[in-house]
Amino acid sequence: MYPSKQGLVKREPYGPAGFRGLLTNPYVALCAAFATIGGLLFGYDQGVISVTLVMDQFLTRFPRVSAEASGAGFWKGLMTAMLELGALIGALFAGWLADKLSRKYSIVVAVGVFTVGSILQTAAVEYAMLTVGRLIGGMGIGALATIAPLYISEIAPPEIRGALLVLQELSIVFGIVIAFWITYGTRFMAGEWSWRLPFLIQMIPGLILGVGIIFLPFSPRWLSSKGRDHEALIVLGKLRKLPTDDARVYQEWCEIRAEVAFSQEVSREKHPNLQEPTRMNGIRLEVQSWLDCFRHGCWRRTVVGVGIMFLQQFVGINALIYYAPSLFETLGQGYEMQLLLSGIINCTQLLGVATSLWTMDRFGRRPLLLTGAGIMFICHLIIAVLVGKFGGRWSDYPIEGWVAVAFLFFYMFSFGATWGPVPWAMPSEIFPSSLRAKGVALSTCSNWFNNFIIGLITPPLVQNTGFGAYTFFAVFCLLAFFFTYFFVPETAGKSLEEMDRVFQDVSSEMEEQQKARIMRDIVEGKRDTDTPTP
């Protein structure tokens, strides 16, 4: 039964929500899982540095970051953080690439850049070469981390979009775990291949992604934005494993076209002098579209996207991932136990992320963020008290040291279950189609920029302040709770085209009437391009 010409009725769901829905949408789940190889590369490049920084073979080649070197904390932080700086640059260009080349072909470009960076890291013979390699590799990682969730959100049915986007975070953490245990094993190798081999291995999944993504379907929303509506309908039917004349497919297709048409009309109204197809107008319109993310109809979404990515970093997660052995050392653990606990704690995060496959669509994004922020605040606060009271005397208070370790594990599980997946999921679902690539890019840039800062400040913060580092992160956990409570709406179960109502930022009656008119014209067949209305 098609929607009536008076408007679209509420669409029937494609199947059950959450994890169960993945089983009824296997093709979409497979496409999304393959796209998240980009997340695996991101996690791998983060995790590979943890054990590498304490390998004797690595420190012999790069003595500048050894504990005995002057300013070692700064140089270690700079080398680690260059990955994030590169990722920030890559994320800035990812939005333009994703709109220009398509979501899937921009992934191919990003993989190429990442491979160049991996080659430089593998072949590095001096500190500068390794640092530049991490910068270039980071550019590819930043683009992949922006485009992969964007692609997933645009191919996913609303009922399982959260579960599919969790795959991105699951893949990131899985990459961290793989990298850690590979380097944990290769550290027993006598020569420099102990650290070169892990850098070499990361190229394998990158090449698999770069070749395989070509065979995946285009995003139907990207196709519609380019006026390729007939292809969009065919792809949508293929993704949903339903005929194109199914009422649910047809309605979703109409909603996609209406959203695209509305965004284009708004662009013409806002920028009437930039519609002539000249190169200069194209550049100026590109700049204006970035600025539109901060204007009426989008600025609240930008605040949410940028804000949750900022807070995801400042609650302390990557400080723990990058420098886990050093943190466990401050809690009184020996060298071998530092490494072993660092590997186990990453597995704990992976277990936490796995739970969100079920909880994100069942309970929603907002409850997870609120609960996670509260638990992480308590964990950091307790650790800060224990470090402040017993720091430097752990041999006399071994039980208290293990209590602090236990709360670090509890923190890691809580992050994995809440603030790990949700900030990666929300930006790719809250922005309108015309600004989605740029909105996701801005949000991801926030992640990388703040990730860069965390990578830079954590070594001296832990070295010079002791319990102050945990207090610092506890304060931001508390800020994360209040930010979520006052600014973050619930998006679970809503289609990408329903976010105007969720954010209530298309407030004028004229704009609402404009959207209703566009939808009515599409349903009545007045806006057909190359596809006859079924």
Q: What is the pLDDT of residues 212-231, one digit of tens each?
A: 888 889 999 899 988 898 99
Per-residue buried b or exposed e for 382-420, using 16+ beta carbons within 10 Å of the residue's own CB:
bbbebbeebbeebeebeebbebbbebbbbbbbbbbbbbb
SS3 helix, strand, coil % of the chain, rounded to 5?
A: 80, 0, 20
Of 63-72, 340-349, 485-494, the poorest mean pLDDT is in 63-72
CA-nearest of 442, 465, 462 to 454 is: 462
Contacts 24+ apart (CB under 8 A), 118-126: 118/199, 118/200, 118/202, 118/203, 118/206, 119/203, 121/199, 122/196, 122/199, 122/200, 122/203, 123/196, 124/61, 125/61, 126/62
Distance CA 96, CA 87 (A): 15
Q: Which of 23-37, 134-148, 438-452, 489-503 has the lowest mean pLDDT?
A: 489-503
Task: Specify the pLDDT at position 111.
Answer: 92
- Is the per-residue pLDDT at 4 higher than 50? no
| Helical ranges in 55-192 per DSSP H | 56-61, 72-101, 103-123, 127-155, 161-186
For 10-50, give the DSSP string: PPPPSS-SHHHHHHH-HHHHHHHHHHTHHHHHHHHHHHHHH
Asked if the domains at 16-216 and 287-503 fall in one CATH topology, the answer is: yes
- Residue length of the chain: 534
Decide: 378 and 314 in contact? Cβ < 8 Å. Answer: no
Q: Are 157 and 240 in contact (CB under 8 A)?
A: yes
Biggest CA–CA distance in the chain, Å, is: 80
C-beta neighbour count of 201 within 10 angstroms = 18
CB 518 within 8 A of CB 262: yes
* Position 419 confidence tier, pLDDT thresholds 50, 70, 90: very high
pLDDT of residue 173: 83
Query: What per-residue confidence (pLDDT) applies to 525?
Result: 73
pTM (2 d.p.):
0.75
Query: What is the per-residue pLDDT across 328-372, written as a single tens digit (0 to 9) for each?
Result: 776 677 777 877 887 888 889 889 988 887 888 788 889 999 999
CATH number of 16-216: 1.20.1250.20
Asked if residue 3 has pLDDT above 50, the reply is no
**136: pLDDT strictly greater than 90:** yes
Q: Where are the domains of the chain?
A: 16-216, 287-503
**C-beta separation of 130 from 124 below 8 A:** yes
- Give the pLDDT score at 1: 41
pLDDT at residue 7, as a whole number: 46
* Higher pLDDT among residues 111 and 445, named by residue: 111
* Section 485-513 average pLDDT: 74
Per-residue pLDDT, averaged over 370-389, amounts to: 91
- Averaged over 73-89, what is the pLDDT? 81
**What are the b/e assignments for 464-483, b being 16+ CB within 10 Å?**
eebbebbbbbbebbbbbbeb
Structure tokens of 120? Answer: 């430089």
* pLDDT tens, residue by residue, 32-59: 888 888 888 888 887 787 778 778 888 8
* Average pLDDT value for residue range 454-472: 76
pLDDT band of 478, cuts 50, 70, 90: very high
Q: What is 287-503's CATH superfamily? A: MFS general substrate transporter like domains (1.20.1250.20)
Confidence at 509, pLDDT banded by 50, 70, 90: low
pLDDT for the residue numbered 506: 61
* End-to-end alpha carbon distance in the chain: 11
**Most trustworthy range by pLDDT among 22-31, 69-78, 129-138, 452-461:** 129-138
- For residue 9, what is the DSSP state? P
Q: Would you say 35 and 108 are in contact if contact means Cβ atoms under 8 Å apart?
A: no
Of 76, 70, 476, 183, the residue nearest 313 (C-alpha): 476
* Residue bearing the bigger pLDDT, 46 or 89: 89
Q: What pLDDT sits at residue 327?
A: 66
What stretch of H or E contains 327? helix 317-330
CA distance 357 to 359: 6
Q: Tell whether the model's pLDDT for residue 154 goes beyond 70.
A: yes
Lowest mean pLDDT among 102-106, 344-348, 373-377, 434-438: 434-438
CB 132 within 8 A of CB 478: no
CB 153 within 8 A of CB 22: no
- φ and ψ at residue 131, rounded to 5 degrees: -65, -40
Structure tokens at 327: 């943190």
Percent of the residues in the chain that have a pLDDT greater than 70, as a whole number:
90
Residue 189 backbone class (left: φ over 0; alpha: ψ -120 to 50; beta: rest): beta
Which comes out higher in pLDDT, residue 458 or 75?
75
**Is 35 within 8 Å of 173 (Cβ atoms)?**
no
Residues 6+ apart with CB under 8 A from 372: 414, 415, 417, 418, 419, 422
Q: How high is the pLDDT of residue 395?
A: 73
pLDDT of residue 534: 39
Question: CA 282: distance to chain centroid?
Answer: 29
Which residues fall within 8 angstroms of residue 116, CB to CB, at 6 or more apart?
A: 136, 137, 140
